[in-house]
Structure 1
Amino acid sequence: MRYVVAVAETGGFTRAAERCHVVQSALSHQIARLEKELGARLFHRTSRSVRLTAAGEAFVPVARQALEAADRARAEVEAVAGEVRGRLAVGAISTVAAVDLARELGAYRARYPQVRISLRMEMSEQLIEQVRQGTLDVAFVGLVPGARSQGVRERALAHGELVAVVPPGHPLAGREWTDLPRLAEETFVDFTAGSAARRQRDEAFRAAGLTTEVAFEVTTVEFLAKLVRAGLGIGMVPQAFASELTGLSVVRVHSAPARVERVVWNRLGPSPAAAAFLAALGVDPSDPGTDPDRVPAVPAAQST
């Protein structure tokens, strides 16, 4: 199963063999044996590409779950013996500001050197889905207050507002405050339609009876900032993150769009490695909590 998943994820037998630290012939032989046992081909093989068959598409998600369950069982046994091992797969939006993620991961690695740590940056929707599927253990997302994420457990880490960012020389550049009607006159650089990041802004303008023109849609705050610097439009980003965007003027907004940063984990419960990471953030995963927007008593930003 590990070999099949490796081929599916790397797109080739050679790269999969390198990942699994085996010779390619051994990997190919084991997959062929599995295909014979299953009575179905898992891959379409050509001289140029390897892709999953319909049977392979059905097999791989279940194989991932089985492998994750096996790894989780081993980690649970080791945790009983006092050792935290296994993996910690973390996801985060690019505008995460409620925690110093680099510092938290560095401190975690120093305390639990046997844990394999990985980090993936995506939009909130993709991160929540990957936590739901078990691909990620923990994710940091930004959502509209009151939004509920299905299939995961979640806790708020911080509440905040969006601010406007404009290029130097823009009429708003010298102002400390503006309002939604004034911003609605501008062309926007924003995140993709339907995304959680976009909804934070859209819902505030809609509630005020305003519409806006979005000419440029992006998936990262870094590219949003580049387009704004080029004078192609204005943007709105979390206030706590705005100071990191050099070369832009920040303008606070009356009745600004609100957001809440949350940490999410699988509803079946965190692995020992993930539970240790959540504990370092001041989050108790055993607390059922009825309000995912309630910030924990010990703010994550103050954890050590």
Structure 2
Amino acid sequence: MRYVVAVAETNSFTRAAERCLVVQSALSHQVARLERELGARLFERTSRRVRLTPAGEAFLPAARQCLDAAERAAAEVAAAVGEVRGRLAVGVISTVTAVDIPGALRDFRERYPQVRISLRVAASDDLVEQVKEGAIDVAFLGLPTTARPQGVAAHELARDRLVAVVAPDHPLAGEAEVDLRRLSSEVFVDLPAGTAGRAQSDLAFEAAGLGRTVGFEVTSADFIARLVRPGLGVAMLPSAYVPHLSGVVTIEVADAPARVEYVIWSRFSRTPAATAFLAALDIPATDG
């Protein structure tokens, strides 16, 4: 099953063999043996590519679940004798500031070298779904103050207000403070519509009875700044995040929207590594 997953993810028997640290002939033999046992071909092989058959598409999710269950079982046994191992899959939004994620992962790896760590950057809503599905163990996200993560355990980390971000030569750059009405006439750079990060600003303008134009939609806060810097638009970003940016000017917003940063994990089960990681961050395991 591990070989099948590797071939499916790499679309190559050669790369899958390299990933699994076996010779290609051995990997191909084992996959063929499994196909005979199942009575169906899992892959279509041509000289140019390898892809899953319908049977392979049906087999892959179950194979992943079996491998995850086996890994979890081994990790639970290790935890019972005082050893933390297995995987720690972490998800973050690009603007998280309440926790120094690189530093936290570095310290955790030094303390628990047997744990395999991975990191994924995504939107808050996507991270919640991936925690529910078990694809991610712990995630750090930001939501409007009117929302709270649903279907997962959550602990509030920090609250922050958004500030306006403009180019150094923008007419507003010399202002100490602006309001949403004054900003509403500007062209905005923002996150994609439908994301939690975008909703923070959308809801604030709607509550004030104002409209605005979002001319540029991007998925990265850093790229937002790259578009603001030459004057293509203005943006609103968390005040704790903007010190990481250069070449832009920050302005306080009198009626600015706020956001809440959370750390979330599964309500139903936590891997030993996830439990250890939350403990290292002094996150109460009783939060819900």
- The normalised TM-score by structure 2 is 0.96
Which residue of structure 2 lines up, in the alignment, with residue 131 of structure 1? 131
Aligned residues: 288
Q: CA deviation at 1:15?
A: 1.0
Equivalent residues in 2 for 1:1-304, closer than 5 Å: 1-285=1-285, 287-289=286-288
CA distance in 2, matches of 1:206, 1:44: 52
Q: CA deviation at 1:178?
A: 0.7
Q: CA deviation at 1:44?
A: 2.3
Confirm or deny: 8 A CA contact 2:155 2:287 kept in the other structure.
no
Which residue of structure 2 lines up, in the alignment, with residue 295 of structure 1? none
CA distance in 2, matches of 1:28, 1:18: 12
CA distance in 1, matches of 2:267, 2:7: 29
Structure 1: 4+ residue segments shifted above 3 A: 148-151
Q: CA deviation at 1:288?
A: 4.7
Confirm or deny: 8 A CA contact 2:43 2:56 kept in the other structure.
yes
CA distance in 1, matches of 2:143, 2:20: 38
Confirm or deny: 8 A CA contact 1:163 1:250 kept in the other structure.
yes
CA distance in 1, matches of 2:130, 2:52: 20
- The normalised TM-score by structure 1 is 0.91
Task: Give the SS at the match of 1:127.
Answer: helix
Q: CA deviation at 1:225?
A: 0.6
Identity %: 63
Deviations along 1:175-201, one digit per CA (max 9) or x if unpaired, are 121111111110001111111111111
CA distance in 2, matches of 1:6, 1:257: 45
Q: CA deviation at 1:173?
A: 0.7
Confirm or deny: 8 A CA contact 2:154 2:287 kept in the other structure.
no
Confirm or deny: 8 A CA contact 2:85 2:112 kept in the other structure.
yes
Confirm or deny: 8 A CA contact 1:124 1:141 kept in the other structure.
yes
Structure 2 runs not aligned, ≥5 long: none
CA distance in 2, matches of 1:254, 1:136: 37
Which residue of structure 2 lines up, in the alignment, with residue 296 of structure 1? none
CA distance in 1, matches of 2:146, 2:54: 39
CA distance in 2, matches of 1:184, 1:199: 15
CA distance in 2, matches of 1:56, 1:268: 29
CA distance in 2, matches of 1:147, 1:201: 13
CA distance in 1, matches of 2:45, 2:128: 33
Confirm or deny: 8 A CA contact 1:65 1:134 kept in the other structure.
no
| RMSD of aligned residue pairs (Cα, Å) | 1.4
CA distance in 2, matches of 1:152, 1:44: 39
Name the amino acid aligned to 2:171.
Answer: P
1:151–1:22 Cα change, 3 Å: farther
CA distance in 1, matches of 2:209, 2:116: 49
Confirm or deny: 8 A CA contact 1:180 1:256 kept in the other structure.
yes
Name the amino acid aligned to 2:274.
Answer: A
CA distance in 1, matches of 2:83, 2:135: 23
